[in-house]
Chain A
Amino acid sequence: MFRKTKKWSGAILSIALVGSILAACSSKNNDSGASSSAPAASPTSSSSESANASPSGSSGLDMSKHVNLQFYMLGDAPKDLSKIEAAINKMAQEDLNATVTFNYTTWTDWDQKYKLLLSTGQAIDLIFTADWTQYQSYAKKGAFLPIEDILPAAAPTLQKFVPQDMWDAVKVDGHIYTVPATFKEYVTNGFVWREDLRLKYNLPKPVDIPTFEAYLDGIKKNEPGIQPLAIGSDVRGALSDTFREISHNPVGAPLPYGIGIKYDKPGDVYSYWGSDEQLQDLLTYKRWADNGYISKNELNEKTTNQEKLTTGKAAAMLGDNPNRFNATLNQMQSTHPDWNLAYYPFPLARGFATPVHPIHNGFAVPKSSKNPERALAFYEKMVTDKRYNQLTQYGVEGTNYTVDNGYYKMVGDANTNGFPREAMNGWAWRNPEYMLFDQSFDGVKAIFDQLDQIAKPDIFTGFAEDYTSYQAERAALEQVEKQYLYPLIAGQVKDVEGGLKTFMEKAKQAGLEKAQAEYTKQWQQYLTESGIK
């Protein structure tokens, strides 16, 4: 009897050990797969909810039943959200016989949460979409409800308010899945540097890579205590992608799997990884690292680049958008009024600027929504009704802000005000007619005006990648990239050519060719469909 139990427990223990090892492995795999992949929107939700999709509101909006809408936005909820919610609900109850709950995901693991919200069939009526939340992929997989048939009845004003070409631009596979924001802005990159130091040592003004390098060199020589360039641990985003943007004239957003496409020859898809172009870039980064423009510790850096600028630890950033640049500048001057930052937009060097694509900010109705008509009707109010709009963007006038000479003015400061400007992260329901700007925004406006003169529409962001067939390769490539390419970009590998070769070998083992071939095929198809040559 005793022996028997002993045997049993021994067996269980060994199973447990093996099992825990397996579990550890698989959970790791899950993680990497999960973070990189959008969900296959669960079939149960799409099939069970498709019945709701039949437009019942074609004969006008039926508002006889009270509904409570679930509204989901990314980021942190402002402190005074409950007050705003109460005020909005009072109006919405009257206008639409509806109330709304504003839910915020917080920024902690927001991508994972976003995926869970959309794939588990939870009842959600409105959710934020953007190119950087993979709107195109989610839409392609059927996470959102097509709204083109509901719009005319539920939100006619909204339908007219958003220009037709924007509606067309957000279409995925011929359907409209999101309501685009109409505020025109630029999130293009630009050099950011310390203007006061540049003037002090009479350094050249950075307008391209050589002049930028000359500036870095000047800082290194004259200010040994300051690190010339801040990169941070995301070397690919902050160094490689940005560097490519200014030097190789690529299309739109950063391309995955080392794919290269030139803006003026979109039909030609080549492999940037392993190319001579990449080797030259890597050698440049290596030179920068060797000369001490960037820190040896860059890959472990936790402090944000903006913070390094404002505290005077670093003297330049390779790229940032006008809005963030302006925020950094204000932040810096609040503590160091004698310091100064300057900005040179990449578009001026490249000769054209693309305003954000309409899918950059939007709100969609998920498949799981129980009240799509009312949700859109409510969203129409948020965008086109001045009371709703300003309340959710700026808070209560008098308590949270005042309007001074046409400018927005915060009451108190960020530590005392429970609802600072755009505290609800309402980028998507901004209405240019009702927008109020802080006086400091004039700097951004000046840059936008400059960019307006060379504006060209963004024709490439509409491309929706579908990576279901090469999901495993995609996840594997991500790992290889982090392990072998990042140190190369950070200039930490002595033998750049050899390092690049190793990286290419590993990437090929991980399935680089398959991913690239599939991506190229889909890209070519997109070009033919949208008639771009």
Chain B
Amino acid sequence: MKIKEEQSTLVFRYVAIVILILGSVACLFPFLLILSASLTNNDSIIRDGYHLIPKEFSWAGYRTVFRFPEQVMRAYGITVFSTVVGTLLGLFLMTMAGYVLQCKDFKYRNFFSFVIYFTTLFGGGLVPWYILMTKYLGLMDTYTVLIYPGLMTPFLIILMKNFIRSAVPDEMIESAKIDGANDFLIYYRIVLQLSMPGIATVGLFLALQYWNDWFTTSLFINDTKLFQLQFYLYNMINAADSISKLGAGSGVNVAGDIPTESTKMAMAIIVTGPILFLYPFVQRYFVKGLTIGAVKG
């Protein structure tokens, strides 16, 4: 009886391992293909297609990306800066908002929740947003514009609110109050400590959002010195693409000296690299965080 059970578990374990290996290979495969393509000669990609092992080895893709290294490094710096500052500032504001919105003794919490929610449903659209940013706030070509719009994401505020509500029992806040703690102390000493999974989740969302952002740069930044990495690289590839779409009638010449395919892949590697390292660190919170609070309304 005992042995039998062990055998079946053993079989199960082997099957599970095989399936997991196949699964990870399937996940790894595209990534390897990208890596190999980024090291292949561009002409060879166009002629022979993608191969797991480069047919003609070449660094040209990376060389193109780093054609003007000081520009890439600067773009890297801008992106890191906006990611770090944006995430920290955003986390601070959103945990505050989440805490306040879930407080039972805050009379207008439903009203404010609704106001925040409302903006996710009915937005002004692109043009009014653009006018607000450029004309009234005067944020064209500033560092602020890279960070400011993402600081209070309604979805993340709601998420944060639900996290805090489920992670911190009311009784705890009540007893802290009896002990003489004020709201800030409760926020700092109790709420923040207890909702770590939520903070990690929201933080990761925020960091990804800032890291992957190219649209803000595309709209509000004209100064090449302020380009974010994603936009800098995207634009490099896009230029050739857009120009060729203009058609012969426009008379605009195709910038022909960029090995587009291999550069694209080299870019993918360069861009995903750093953010990939972020996952293992927040992952343990992340898994727990995803299940908590996401459903409980």
Contact = CB atoms under 8 A, between A and B. Distances in A.
B121 A254 contact: no
Nearest to A4: B110
A63 interface: no
Nearest to B240: A304
A320 B251 contact: no
Given A12-B114, A106-B235, A304-B240, A113 B251 contact: no
Nearest to B215: A109
A130 to B, nearest CB: 7
Interface string B262-297: 000000000000000000000000000000000001
Interface string A412-442: 0011000000000101000000000000000
Interface stretch (A199-207, A309-317, A391-399): A309-317
Given A106-B235, A121-B131, 18 more contacts: A20-B120, A20-B121, A76-B239, A79-B71, A104-B224, A107-B239, A108-B238, A120-B131, A120-B134, A132-B247, A302-B241, A303-B260, A304-B241, A304-B244, A312-B43, A323-B253, A327-B254, A328-B254
A77 B224 contact: yes
A106 B239 contact: yes
Given A106-B235, A122-B134, A321 B248 contact: yes
Interface of A: 5-6, 8-10, 12-13, 15-16, 19-20, 23, 30, 34, 39, 75-77, 79, 81, 103-110, 113, 116, 119-122, 130-132, 185, 187, 189, 232, 234, 237-238, 242, 253-254, 302-308, 310-313, 319-321, 323-324, 327-328, 331, 335, 356, 360-361, 414-415, 425, 427
Nearest to A78: B224
A320 B242 contact: no
Contacts of A132: 246-247, 249-250
A331 B256 contact: yes
B209 to A, nearest CB: 18
A6 B218 CA distance: 42
Contacts of B123: 23
Contacts of A19: 120-122
Contacts of B80: none
Most buried by B among A76, A108, A120, A313: A108
B36 to A, nearest CB: 18
Given A19-B121, A81-B224, A234-B247, A415 B67 contact: yes
A328 B256 contact: yes
Contacts of B180: none
B2 interface: no
Contact of A187 (B135, B231, B249): B249
A317 to B, nearest CB: 9
A116 B256 contact: no
A480 B68 CA distance: 43
B126 interface: yes
Contacts of B241: 107, 302, 304
Interface residues of B, number: 51
A16 B121 contact: yes
Interface of B: 42-43, 46-47, 67-68, 71, 110, 114, 117, 120-123, 125-127, 130-131, 134-135, 140, 218-219, 222, 224, 231, 234-235, 238-254, 256-257, 260-261, 297
B244 A107 contact: no
Contacts of A110: 242
A302 B242 CA distance: 11
A113 B219 contact: yes
Contacts of B47: 311-313
Given A19-B122, A20-B121, A132-B246, A106 B251 contact: no
A231 to B, nearest CB: 12
25 contacts: A5-B110, A13-B297, A20-B121, A30-B126, A39-B127, A75-B252, A79-B68, A81-B224, A108-B239, A113-B219, A120-B131, A132-B246, A234-B247, A253-B249, A303-B46, A307-B46, A311-B46, A320-B248, A321-B248, A327-B253, A331-B256, A331-B257, A356-B251, A360-B251, A415-B67
A30 to B, nearest CB: 6
B43 A335 contact: yes
Contacts of A12: 114, 117
A319 B247 CA distance: 10
Contacts of B234: 108
A189 B254 contact: no
B247 A324 contact: no
A306 B218 CA distance: 27
A116 B219 contact: yes
Contacts of A113: 218-219
Contacts of B260: 303-304, 307
B221 to A, nearest CB: 9
A241 to B, nearest CB: 8
